[in-house]
Copies of this chain bind each other. A is one copy, B any other.
Amino acid sequence: MKKYSKNQLQRYPIYLKYLRQLKEQGHTSVSSPLIAKELGYSEEQIRKDLQLVSNEAGRPKKGRNIDKLIETLENFLGYSSQANALLIGVGHLGNALMNYPFFEEMGIKIVAGFDSDKEKIGSLVNEKPILAMEELSRSIKEYKANIIILTVPANVAQNVTDFAVKAGARAIWNFAPIHVNVPGDVVIEDVNMASSLAVLWHRYLNLKNID
């Protein structure tokens, strides 16, 4: 398998988002300089990133075919795979994610939620059942769902992670605002809302200083 850097992997969905938008606007081809200008990356980087996933080179005058590039990126990102995912922690955020229509476009289907709250267990959220934590192991096997979406409070995140790993979780998408540890044979990726806010906040302060 080719080696991709974390930054590089993060850029592909951003390219895809932009290409879908161009398509929506009626465009049929796109050049690296245009993507670079619009998204604020260097032309060199765009060219390198796209060459790595696509066999087709851009034609000097005409650029790349948008439909083909969208298809290439969707395949690369696994958006056509519809992997089953289970969500742990059906609070406000968990509830929102279970109702979030964009996940299926990203190839992820949340098939059940888990919670320790007896009031929630047995109910449905967006037509998916909320189950007790004890059923996690069975569900991972039954749904072939190795992706676990973690939306629990920070103070229980490590314990819940340990429990999920024991139950067979191999990939954890962590929305809890805390760093959790996993064994070497499990992958974890944090959604760092705070990191994104830090960038916004710093740029905003710079903007005010310039005024």
Contacts and interface: CB of A to CB of B under 8 A. Distances in A.
B192 A13 contact: yes
Q: How many copies does the complex hold?
A: 2
Contacts of A16: 194
A92 B99 CA distance: 7
Contacts of A48: none
A193 interface: yes
B196 A200 contact: no
A105 B205 CA distance: 19
A10 interface: yes
Contacts of A189: 196-197, 199-200, 203
22 contacts: A9-B195, A9-B199, A10-B199, A13-B197, A14-B179, A17-B178, A21-B178, A38-B179, A77-B194, A77-B201, A83-B201, A92-B99, A95-B96, A102-B154, A102-B194, A147-B204, A170-B204, A171-B207, A187-B204, A189-B196, A189-B200, A189-B203
